[in-house]
Amino acid sequence: MSSLEWVAAALGLICVALAVRRSLWNYAFGVASTALLAIVVFEARLYSQALLQIFFVAINAYGFVNWRRAKGGGGDVPIERMTPRELGGWSIGIVVATLGWGWAMHLLTDAAQPLLDAAIAVVSVAAQLLMARRRLENWALWIAVDVASIPLFLGQGLRVVAGLYVVYLALAIWGYVDWHRAVRQAGPMPA
């Protein structure tokens, strides 16, 4: 692991910890982390991952603006649950995008695990979008991403990265519990 990878990983951990605490600063660390990681994966000739990191830079900027706009008078960022209709739409979109991306990766590349890799990428995109929209369910998606990523990276011999995802898993569980508590304390959403 290069020093740039370590810095990107450290910034990523700070980003997630700040997101759990609903700090607007998570997005500054997210932009820095994903920008550095884009360089690392590009140099490793993982071009799809590099494009994904560029997407994450952009979505972190969107998240910053959205959270800043939504920040309450007490300084808290309000959290919301998804409606059943939203859950259904997002679930169908994730399945369709995963199958399409996985099939394309199978046909067009020599990917080691095209469907699993596609699922992790698609769910990561959905989770990041839902986090930017302040939806509690983003953490359930991040938990799924982390659980799936650990064996994937171990199978590819990437033990340090797998270890990082173990830490991300713990942070995602913390995030779900903390945000769930915030939603309960806020009470029911107005109709």
Write out pLDDT tens, residues 84-134.
Answer: 999 999 999 999 999 999 999 889 988 778 888 889 989 999 999 999 999
* pLDDT of res. 188: 67
Q: Please state, rounded to an integer, the average pLDDT across all residues of the chain.
A: 88
Tokens of 24: 């607007």
- Name the stretches of the chain with pLDDT < 50: 191
* pLDDT of res. 72: 64
DSSP codes of every residue in 116-178 = HHHHHHHHHHHHHHHHHTTBTTHHHHHHHHHHHHHHHHHHTT-HHHHHHHHHHHHHHHHHHHH
* pLDDT of res. 46: 67
* pLDDT of res. 114: 82
The model's pTM: 0.85
List beta partners, residue 80: 135
Of 151, 153, 123, 178, whose CA–CA distance to 46 is shortest? 153
* pLDDT of res. 176: 97
Residue 32 near residue 14 (C-beta atoms within 8 A): no
Tokens of 42: 């590009």
